[in-house]
Structure 1
Amino acid sequence: MNMIHRKSIILSVSLIVIIALSFFAFSFGENTNTEAKSNTQKLKSFKVASIEFNPKLNDRDKNIDALYKQIETAFKHGAKLAVAPEMSTTGYYYKNREAIKPFVDTIPGKATKKFAKLTRKYHAYVVFGMAEKDPKTNVYYDSSALVGPGGYIGKYRKTEQWETEEHWAAWGDLGVPVFKTELGNIAINICMDAAYPEMARLAAVNGADIMAFPTNSSAQAVAALPARAMENGLYIVSANRSNTEKGFHMIGASAVWSPTGKKLAEAKLIKTPKDDINKPTITYATIDPKQYNNANKKRLKERRPDLYQDIMLKVGPWDYTTTSEPKSVNALAIQYTPVPGNKKSNEDKIVNLIDSKIKNSEVRPNLIVLPELSLTGPSELLKLHRMSTYAERIDGETTKFMKTLAQKYQTAIVYGLIEKSGKNLYNTAVLMDKSGKIDGKYRQAQLSSFDKKWAKRGNSLPVFSNNELGKVGIMIGNDVNFPEISSVFAVQRADIIAIPSSWYGQFGGNMEINHEMSANPYPSGTMPLWSEISIDAQSYTIISNYVGTSKGFKGRSALYTLDPLYGLDQPIVASSNKEEALAVKFKTIQPNNWFNQDKLINSRQPAYYKPLIK
């Protein structure tokens, strides 16, 4: 064999080996990347149970025995995951550490050991709430434990506490752990945690598929759950109580929520103490693991932790930058069918709607909020190759038109435009004061997949000061999918959040909590992602959205308020199919309410939010 022929053979063999190794590496990489997805696809749908169980105060051992029977009932009916309420082994109200001392238990301990007999027998899982004693420190916690077929798995200690347990329980110190199980990845939040969007977000960022939610709720915690499910793409299994303990009434309405915020099952709402149901109630629903990999969860990849640093701040109890006195606000949210690319036609629509509202009522607005990209219409209706022709500098024709409106009506205005700055285009919203001076501009930070095709994202989440309104934060359209933004605005003490929008159902959905849960019921057409922003930030929130066109914009411009659940104020929602100027009226900050922005800031636990900024 000559040298040339030998080299040719060696080269050929080497090439074959390289191709083989490359194919193997590709296959291995592909399998690695799709492993989680294929494992999810292998899982079959399974039944979950929410156990509405009402323990007797100061009777731990009997409560454990009684709960044992209910868990077994759920397992006998085919449930593979059961969730029981907060503090379900002891009852809820304890004056201090001394009062609860005889009833605390370690985790693992007596309760977990007993329930493990059932989880082993039925090859199932249970999450239940209890008062935990740390054997090393003798510190007590409001905790929940997860027990499975192999026995005790893990625990969660309540992070965001309500006043009652603060007298005996320390803040949770474990963060939000996620436990890998045969059913999927399970995390736990407890009751008041739901009032702080960071807690469910931590579960999602840490990889949860299901969030178990033990609670003792009178409304606030369970009302937040549809939004928490939507924001994070999680199944949520909530278990509440349905009776009254020491004057504290818990409303039942235990429910299972899908990752899109759909209510899969719900127990009866118990409106008043006279309606109490002391006997246990078990509510069943089915979870489909194929839904773990959903659009809402995929949106987590769009998060921008570099912009959320302010959520780590706790500016309280002293903060001299806050608005000291409530501001009276009369606002108009303008809703119309846009004429794509025709700025003059859209100008005429805006003026006619404002003039008509002012003429036919005594409304004298000091704030007007317009939809996203107010004069061109939404980008989805425009041709991408022409976006630069619609764009303008911040001091261009759109701003000149808005200045005439501000001065004519003596009102602040929030409006949107395609901003041109150098070679870049931005989806921008502006706050202008009544004199026509710009108080500030915001460039959309969380671009939709469509807007990424033409716009450069902004890199800050500012809050602007206005003499008549106080402090104003602005979100645009797709931003509402990222609750970290409302948390940043809360820390910056925004009194009002304005949201120019172009929503046609591409995210979010309909509010499905029991209509009677709220003292001032949410109107028909309430959108949970919008409504929860106002409560999460304790900032009055005004949305202005388009209506109509071939895209099917859904209208529903709105005012969402700080506390409709307990009767402080009333949300207002516009129609889904008519052009209108929705008039709303409110006073900011609500310094005397039981829960407000000041109390929110002083009670949140940012030390545990670090995974959200990494």
Structure 2
Amino acid sequence: MATRSLRRFAAGSLGLLLSGLLNSGVMLPARAYEGRLPVGGRPVKVAAVDFIPAWGDRDGNIRRLVEAAERVAAEGVQYAVFPETAISGYDFADPAQLAPFVDTIPGRATDALLPVLKRTGLIMSVGIAEKDAYTGIFYNTALLLGPDGIIGKYRKNGLNGQDVQLFGPGDTDVGVFDTPIGRIALIICYDDTYWQYDRLAALRGAQIIGWHSVSDRVMPGTPPAAAKANHSTVASVQHMSALNGVWVIGATRSGIERNPINGSQLYYNGGSSIWSPQGRKLVQAPVVPPQVLPPGLNGIFATTIIPAEADAVREQRLAARRPALYNPLLALRRAPVDTTATATPRPVQLAAAQWTGEASRLGSSQPQAKELLVLPELSALPRGLPAAEISRRAERQGGSFEQLLAQRAKAGNGYLVGSYPEREGSRVFHTVALAGPAGTILGRYRATHLSAAERAWASAGDAPTVVSTPLGRIGLATAGDLAVTELTGLYQTLRTDVLAVPSGDPSPLKVEIDRKLYAVSDPPTGRADLHPYLAAKLGQFWLVSGGRRMGDSTAAGIFGPEPVVHTPTLTAAAGADAVRYRTVVPAAGTWINQQQLIDGQRNDLFKPLVLDPGNSCFRSWKVAGHGTVACP
């Protein structure tokens, strides 16, 4: 449910306060602790608003925004998110075309909207093509307004191929703004192609991310060769909530936008949505076919949330991070020219083993010739062993598990990946090993981000592992690692072509993105585990996950780097020993690829990702709420 009673709320400071009082035998009436509610502790009605601007009609769009704000407030909404570039439209060829329709902050839009917000109490965020009053530079900006005036703004950092024709790179960092309803961060459209921006919002204590988009698709009938821009950015929003433990209110638009000067058209398909801190979809607008729609309010998609319920979930997600592991790669390295990356495309066959029942099938598993086959985790052990037994069966490097893994790889003349409990002195690690066709171990990786189950028996490793092979650059990880998005970032930066991930049972958290948002023929909605799907997409590499089948669900899958438009998400069929796919690495990409993603990063903003939360620079950055890290 999107709404829970305050009596059931047990997150953050309120939960600790009540727990202590109840344990001491003290009972407080509701009014006694009303004033002690944490920030965002009250129920709030929030909405993603489908608003359609008329191209190049700034004053008319401002008038329609005022009317829409009145309507939204009349519905009892307390925070509403409107789409990107809502006062100008989006489809402009160059800054000269856009220039007559930009606005300043403060400006015409704020002058018109603020009286409505003061009278109704509504808080809203809206996308504006902003002209900086001092420099004259144009920015793609999200503006947060409330009854008391301008709360803050965010200038888009993740600029796509259209943005760079019109807007300067953002210079506001990712801020988190205190409001009467809770702590709100703002993100814009293509920012969600990167994992870093929403992570920065979470690190600053955001409870809600307002995401503003104009997510476009190609028109029906477009030849495949010309359809590479069919990216449907709105199909990415689930990761912001699932990986960061925050509420996400994502607003995009519908309709067809036409530029009357050059005749170009953009088709927007709707799909505005609201997501819980657990990564579950609560509300979604219909995904619609192309149609000409009148400008103005086109839909209000609302639910009630308690923003502070994000706090405990967010802090649990962030507690799994290991900042020392990420420095300096995630903050300092840029790679427009990177000799690390695989330079020559090559064909590869990928395979994810699927096991049913409790027993190990390591002794009968082998890859096909020159194939990469990934087995389920703890590959030599029966499923479901208690932690103490897993630890008891731990063995040293070069022991019976690695010997058998290498034998099976050599027998198939291919590459085989599995994992085992590795003992070194008094410590046990969850270690992933890669064996090659010569019958040798080519690489080992000790899981760096342990799941709760792994922490009962394993110690954490200290470094990612990428192995150069004739198949490309193969990275090694575990299913537990994938819940921490920085691990994906490390493997992306290390220019991984394929991430091999032994997994266990299927996850209850699945891809919930509307299947109508996909151009591929078999969308993964409802059947694919979310975390490997997200890692492949955000890292722009192939991911192969060997796993178990439980009933109708499986953890065995092959996940492509561009699953919305081009590359498939394949899960093992019932009764199959494996799922296989032949492709090319490095992935060529469609509207995005790994190289473009690295080139487009704003590493100057990413210092907080590698700072320890106890670091004085980090603390001052977090308390400030906005602005970059500034230390003496």
Distance 1:365 1:278 in 2: 56
Does residue 76 (structure 1) correspond to residue 94 (structure 2)? The answer is: no
* Superposed CA offset, 1:81-128 (max 9, x none): 111110001111222332222222222322123211121111120000
Aligned-pair CA distance for 1:423: 2.1
What letter corresponds to residue 395 of structure 1 in structure 2?
G
Aligned-residue offset at 1:375: 0.7
Identify which of 302, 311, 319 aligns with 1:293: 311
Partner of 2:244: 232
Q: Which has the larger radius of gyration?
A: 1
1:434 corresponds to: 437
Cα–Cα, structure 1 residues 50 and 562, in superposed 2: closer, same or farther, change >3 Å? same
Letter in 2 for 1:171: P
Is 1:611 aligned to residue 608 of structure 2? Answer: yes
Task: Give per-residue Cα distances to partners, 1:258-310, cap 9 Å, x unaligned.
Answer: 11222211111124x34767552222222233532343542211211111221
Q: Kindly indicate whether residue 304 of structure 2 is the aligned counterpart of residue 304 of structure 1.
A: no
In 1, the alpha carbon distance for the partners of 2:212 and 2:307 equals 21
What letter is aligned with 2:288? I
Partner SS, residue 187 of structure 1: strand
**Counterpart position of 2:555:** 556
- Note if 1:591 corresponds to 2:596: no
Cα distance change on mapping 1:145 and 1:338 into 2, 3 Å: same
Q: Is the 8 A contact 2:157 2:170 kept in 1?
A: yes
Within 2, Cα distance between the matches of 1:517 and 1:553? 24
Tell me the equivalent position of 1:542: 544
Q: 1:330-479 to 2 correspondence within 5 Å?
A: 330-337=349-356, 339=358, 346=360, 349-352=361-364, 364=369, 366-377=371-382, 381-467=384-470, 469-479=471-481
| Structure with greater helix percent | 1
1:528 is aligned to 530
Would the aligned equivalents of 2:549 and 2:556 in 1 still touch at CA under 8 Å? no
Between the aligned partners of 1:477 and 1:569, the Cα distance in structure 2 is: 21
TM-score by length of 2: 0.84
The 1:465–1:259 alpha-carbon spacing in structure 2 relative to 1, beyond 3 Å, is: same
Q: For residue 482 of structure 1, what is the amino acid of its counterpart?
A: V
Range 295-304 or range 407-416, more displaced? 295-304
CA contact (8 A) 2:125 2:144 kept: yes
- 1: CA distance between counterparts of 2:275 and 2:414? 42
Report if the CA contact (8 A) 2:53-2:61 is conserved: yes
Q: 1:42 to 1:74 in 2, by over 3 A?
A: closer
Deviation at 1:364, TM superposition (A): 4.8
Q: Which amino acid aligns with 2:513?
A: I
The letter of the residue matching 1:93 is D
- Given the two structures, how large is their TM-score scaled by the length of structure 1? 0.86
Give yes or no for contact 1:373–1:418 (8 Å, CA) kept in 2: yes
Deviation digits for residues 437-490 of structure 1 (CA, Å, limit 9, x no counterpart): 2221110011122322321110111221112x1101122121111111111111
Which secondary structure does the structure 2 equivalent of 1:293 belong to? helix
Percentage of identical aligned residues: 29
CA offsets 1:426-447 (integer angstroms, 9 cap, x no match): 0000112111222211100111
Shift of the alpha carbon at 1:556?
3.0
Q: Deviations over 1:308-364 (max 9, x none)?
A: 22122444321122111222222221121464xxxxx52xx245465xxx9xxxx65
Deviations 1:408-428 (A, max 9, x none): 101111110111112221000
Counterpart of 1:224, as a letter, is S
Superposed, 1:13-162 pairs within 5 Å as: 39-40=37-38, 43-162=41-160
Query: How far 1:585 moved relative to its partner?
Result: 2.1
| 2:341 corresponding residue in structure 1 | 322
What does residue 248 of structure 1 align with? 266
User: 2:615 maps to which residue?
Assistant: none
Return the letter of the residue paired with 2:455. Answer: K
Distance 2:238 2:101 in 1: 34
Q: CA deviation at 1:36?
A: 13
Residue number in structure 2 paired with 1:3: none
Q: What is the CA-CA distance between 1:386 and the residue it aligns to?
A: 3.5
- Partners of 2:531 and 2:601 lie apart in 1 by 21
Q: Which runs of 4+ in 1 moved over 6 A?
A: none
Match runs of 1:496-507 below 5 Å: 496-505=498-507
Contact 1:226/1:513 (<8 A) preserved: yes
Structure 1 residue 193, shift from structure 2 partner:
0.3
CA distance in 2, matches of 1:503, 1:142: 43
Q: Quote the Cα distance in structure 2 between the aligned partners of 1:51 and 1:387.
A: 51
Residue of structure 1 equivalent to 2:234 = 222
Structure 1 counterpart of 2:10: none
> 1-side partners of 2:548 and 2:542: how far apart?
20
Moved more, 487-496 or 588-597: 588-597
Can you give the 5+ residue segments of structure 2 that lack an aligned partner in the other structure?
1-15, 22-32, 217-230, 258-263, 612-632
- State the Cα distance separating 1:177 from its structure 2 match: 0.3
> Please, which runs of 5 or more residues in structure 1 have no aligned partner?
1-25, 340-344
Is the contact between residue 91 and residue 265 of structure 2 (CA under 8 Å) also seen in structure 1?
no
Offset at 1:191? 0.2
- Residue-by-residue CA offset, 1:220-242 (whole Å, 9 max, x unaligned): 42111112211011111111111
Q: Which moved more, 1:172-181 or 1:514-523?
A: 514-523
Change beyond 3 A, Cα 1:162–1:41: closer
> Considering only aligned residues, what root-mean-square deviation do their CA atoms show, in Å?
2.6
